[in-house]
Amino acid sequence: MLGSSEKIERLIQELSKMPTIGRRTAQRIALYLLKAPREEVTSLVSALVEMKENVGYCAECGAITESDPCAICADPKRERSAICVVEEPGNVMGIEKTGEYRGLYHVLHGRLSPLDGLGPEDLSIDRLTERIKALGVKEVIIATNPTVEGEATCSYLAQVVKPLGVKITTIARGVPMGSDLDLADEMTLARSIQGRGEVK
């Protein structure tokens, strides 16, 4: 190929397979890597291989981990009476950062989405019910995203978990900290009123 090479073309094609990377961005990355020092490229390759060989999903909760079970599931100090259900592994990191929660997690790896063709069989729901029974869980905290599909997933999960006789809660929805009530829309305010809590 004039002005290029087959090897660069191959790299562009591989990079273009990644989410949010189009052909033009892939070309920019490929040309950057061509110019970069050899050590930088070697370090990137070894980081990719190491990640692929050593990182996976916890067989218990589905979170990202280098050991199986993950550090949270293996920690005897974590409360085993509560499971917090989230859509994606990244959500676990977000909740952990708060330092407010000491129970276990369960990652669904998605949400119910007719538009994307994702049904209950595509999510880790059977494993969730197995864990609730096996661990003797008393409270399931559903922390799906506050979107229409996240809410529908939440109501579906509540329907599945209810017969197991555990307490089902959701994380609070509504006005974010530091914002102004005047600027909140009707849906956000409605959810804040519905999920209001007693002042402690």
Partner 1 sequence: MSIHRTHGIVLRTRKFRESSKIIVFFTRRYGKISAIAKGSLKPKSKFGSSLELFTRSSLIFYRKENRDLHTLSHSEILNANKNIGNDVVKLAYASAATEMVERLVPNEEQNETLYELLDAILNQIGVAERNQLELILASYTLKMLHAVGYGPELAACVRCGKDLGDEVWFGLHSGGALCPACHKEDLHAMEMSRATLELMRKFESISMARLRETHSADKFSRDAFDILHAFVRAQISEGARIRSLDFLERMRDSSFA
Q: Which stretches of the chain bind partner 1, using CB under 8 A?
A: 20, 112-117, 119-120, 146-149, 151-153, 155-156, 176, 178-179, 183-188, 190
Smaller CB separation from partner 1, 80 or 127: 127
Least distance to partner 1 from the beta carbon of 32, Å?
19
Smaller CB separation from partner 1, 114 or 197: 114
Least distance to partner 1 from the beta carbon of 108, Å?
14
Least distance to partner 1 from the beta carbon of 141, Å?
19
Joined together, the tokens standing for residue 127 give 């494993």
129 - beta bridge partners?
A: none
Smaller CB separation from partner 1, 34 or 189: 189
Least distance to partner 1 from the beta carbon of 104, Å?
25
Smaller CB separation from partner 1, 56 or 94: 94
